[in-house]
Amino acid sequence: APEEPLLQIENITAGYGAAPVLHDVTLTVPPGAIVAVLGANGAGKTTLLRTVSGLLRPSSGVVRLSGQDLARVPVEHRVRRGMAHVPEGRGVVAELTVDENLRLGGLWRTDRRDARRALDEVYALFDPLARRRGHAGHQLSGGERQMLAIGRALVARPRLLLLDEPSLGLAPRVTAQLMGLLAGLRDDTGLAVLLVEQNVRSALSVADRGVVMSLGRVVRESDAAQLRDDDALRHAYLGF
- Residues within the interface to ligand ATP (CB under 6 A): 16, 21, 39, 41-47, 198
Least CB distance from residue 188 to ligand ATP, whole Å?
29
Residue 2 or 17: the one with the smaller Cβ distance to ligand ATP is 17
Least CB distance from residue 37 to ligand ATP, whole Å?
8
The Cα–Cα gap between 8 and 154 comes to 21
Least CB distance from residue 43 to ligand ATP, whole Å?
4
Residue 46 or 146: the one with the smaller Cβ distance to ligand ATP is 46
Residue 42 or 172: the one with the smaller Cβ distance to ligand ATP is 42
Residue 45 or 159: the one with the smaller Cβ distance to ligand ATP is 45
Least CB distance from residue 198 to ligand ATP, whole Å?
6
Least CB distance from residue 17 to ligand ATP, whole Å?
6
Residue 44 or 137: the one with the smaller Cβ distance to ligand ATP is 44
